Structure 1
């Protein structure tokens, strides 16, 4: 190779570069650096690499000048690492995380040739994640990084400032405080002399000054192409590259420490006799000597077990599914966990996997791994949640805990609790300075001493080990500012405990039986009372007319009695939170719960019950029955699995499911349902509360109009009616209804127009929009776009590319016609359907009502609901 040369000949500019695997060029023939080392052409020391056409791998962002000085480095640079060059050259040594001025590496000449110069610290410019046989080595100033950047292998110092031993370990790249694997846990190194290498015979060893080497793999035959790679799973694997299948000779996953990773095993290899288990650290700071706990797989019961000094401490219970045990399941959050148990002639093991690891070194959350902590709990390092032995504090047996063995002085109610306070005693405390004792060992010793009432670690012993035992009485500091100790909370004697438990149980059962009898008798009386109230209540003329119209021989009382008898059966399970239930025959139902706080009284309840029972149309929700019990009144509908339209159209993720074809089908379905109410049902019905929340969607996303509690019935010849009580939802009510209390079929047409514009745009009517600084609601915004000749801008971006532009514009046109200020200018629903489905020329829309939004910012669209007595903000027509 040619002698290294000074690259920068004149001031240059800063650049950002992404460095990939670089070939080494010797006399114009490219070959890898590994081959160069093996051939002797590129021994340790300076080397020069050239890459033609740097634009294939480099991104440039020039920002300033540098002084052109050379840079020496003391580490190799992984070829996959992102190098961000934007700092000045001061001659200081470089670590991997520092920034390098790109002029040190780049010489821009006519051939766009890249020159790479490095000093004697370079071990491999080709493989940041791999250690090669016969030349590569890893020392205290170098690391291996997995290709995905999640994991780092290197030397780290653990323990107190006094011990500060050096360990070869693997850690998550964002957190070096607790490596999840340690190679030399039993033999920590006192200084920085540790070196990991694969010798010429294929043996992988950790050598250091003043001690015997730690040998991980001893080759039985001469091998010439052995590599050790840190994989994306966090597994450090030794392979024979010459074998056809890249035979695995050794891997760190076979020798876990205290952390369980996806793909790692717990169990036994029957063929080799090797077992896989975790062993906790002694404390948060001390990995050596090993802690009190082990985490194992019970192959006979198929359960996870935590042992403390070989005594069972906690069990998960048998594996019940691929996601849970009896007493253990992971809260997966945004990852899909899966538990696996494989039992065969060779192996019997447990492992877990995740569907995707979505984290990078730049992420804020840890990679998914389960750590056996020094206190016997299992911690999910990604979420911070703890499982397993967290609740095991003495005689507690909840959540899989085993009762601690101890003397008779420890009752069934005794347990350890961490509390702030101090001890008042004439008995001096005792100390045990054994640095091999963890806090769990201290608890166990105290538990077996009937005089001991509390324990903590030794304050003057490094690394939170050793024990201090307390006697006498404990005074708690409720402020929490005092020193914390683990205190044995005293319980009652076992005999007295059982007496109180029996007495309390008998008393409770007796009281519950009496209460049940009283409830049953009261329920019978109230049932008849509410039935009579429902049948004798004076209602509006339209309700009375509905009761008698066309059904002179119909016995309303008998029908309601049948419904009540059906839906008050105890076997029906109503879940009030979800408003969903199931009938004895397996049919799912939806329950509308009307209480005093719902804003609807008995008149509205009766109105909806009688009215909707008369209606039959595919775009109207079907009423199955009712339930009256105490103050509760419920209407039972057919179950709509997709809930209401507003849960789709206004949800950023779910509205993608509604393409334009489906949206137009929903618009047509709503229009057909309204036409039936206005014209083809036995009575002319005005809904008065048509909105997205009252449009339910079945399993095929077909729309069904619901909520008829505010509906009014017209005689065939009636055109309009007046009311002093304004009911409805802000934004959907027509101007003549809001201002004068006048309602007609044109009131529903206005509401339909607003709903149509919401479906097209994916925006709520209450959305605060602006044009030229003027606040507008959705109707006003649509009108301004129409006047400007750009109504297509209203369309939801999700469907803008795939929709029929002519059809969408026709829908917007019809929507504006439906929200005309004057009711006489609005079309009837039969005309609306004709306009939507034909290509006939449409009349030009006029200025709509309520196009400004003066007070809209004061309202929360998510809380908008139907109202009875409306207190309206003043709205102005433009």
Structure 2
């Protein structure tokens, strides 16, 4: 028997009892800690379990039917029933309450909406809801999906909903054997442009790129759904896997892992991991830093900036020329990057704007801009202020966004000089290399002929071409370099000054 099967069997005793073969509880009905209820298509099961298995801590939870090795939702994660029997009751006030044998309440649904004929139902999505008996599941008055555990199920949403006023987040376990709330959370930062973030307390650990409507990035996973409607909902969710049961989990280390159940192998397979290591580390390169990854994460600076400290790249970067908001300044384009952190204080979105460059130039505090085509709205501009933090090159070329960073006029002038020098110098060097190659072959052929003639006793009186002779009229050189003008001098090499032509 494999270790996976042994692990699976070891966890079975954590789950009690037998199914009562219904997916609905009516008022004044209950289940005790030896019973479970099962969704209509037998996809999910709700009941009691203990964790750790050797303890007397009892929890009410939901798991995939037949796969009780991982619980996807826990009602009383921070208030377990200890050393007592436990019962879930649907009381006459239309609320679910969890009590011990003496009637002490350990958890309640706390629904404040009055329902005439309420029922509690476990759906095939894994959602446990309270609703009116003669209405559909979409007309719930309370749902477990609004109070996530550490697991995101298909159809479950993270983010803000006007119906409840909640901003739903995953909260990590304290450990693998302790389901109580840890200090890590994963959800949608709705202040500014929406972006998925993993927090430790109030501190950002790492984040995804900002999105709006269908999202900014040219690459979006087909498992993800994004909704941006500031009046009603700002949310993120995942689709159901075609391969079977699936879930995304915020683990106790801070990684978000997307699992798919492989029935043939009877195990959860890791399909995708979102982690804070390498360039995803929020504070890695500091303000105005730019992270790239080949084998390891490496910090550089945005164009027009240089490292603030040679010893510590996390200190970020500073401008090479602080003289900005003057005539002649402009922008440098950086392609295939994750856009900077886009919280409310540092970003602004304006729709219906065609000339984003002018929009940014007209505000001296604008540091950078990006362009987008918003679905069903048209062109829009995103502008950043205060700081440009957590910018990185994306792994796959063509899947990132373009960022236009504001630089001083001197930086643009340097770029213009380079753009003039390269097109002029490169052709000259190419011609010189070509002439040198021809000279080499001529010299070699002449020497070969001389050697053959000498071997035959014949004397050659023709002058040899010297390898170092590559003449060009001085008048041509003077005209090309503006009579060796200082303004045309670009440096100095081992053989003297070097001029651009």
Query: Normalization by structure 2: what TM-score?
Result: 0.48
Structure with more strand by fraction: 2
* Larger RCO (alpha carbons 8 Å, 6+ apart): 2
Query: Normalization by structure 1: what TM-score?
Result: 0.29
Larger Rg: 1
